[in-house]
Amino acid sequence: MKLDNYRLNWDVILKKEIDFLSKKYPDIDIKGSYASVIKLLNENKIMSRIILRKMNS
């Protein structure tokens, strides 16, 4: 099995969760509180593992 590296944009991945929490708690800056975590995820300083599988038809 060959593994390829992909660059993930965590801002896009977490957008639905951030929007949901922002609507639920409008008085809290949810996007601001996620900003530092998203930055660390995008820089790969917080390790994450996502496995993508290519579907061949």
pLDDT digits (tens, 9 = 90+) for 2-35: 656 677 889 999 999 999 999 999 999 999 999 9
| DSSP H or E segment with residue 41 | helix 30-42
Q: Which residue from 41, 18, 48, 46 is spatially nearest to 30, judged by alpha carbons?
A: 18
Beta carbons of 41 and 48 less than 8 angstroms apart: yes
Taking the mean position of all CA atoms in its chain, how far away is CA 24? 20
Measured CA to CA, the distance from residue 45 to residue 47 in angstroms comes to: 6
Model pTM?
0.67
| pLDDT tens by residue, 46-56 | 776 665 566 66
CA-based radius of gyration for the chain: 15
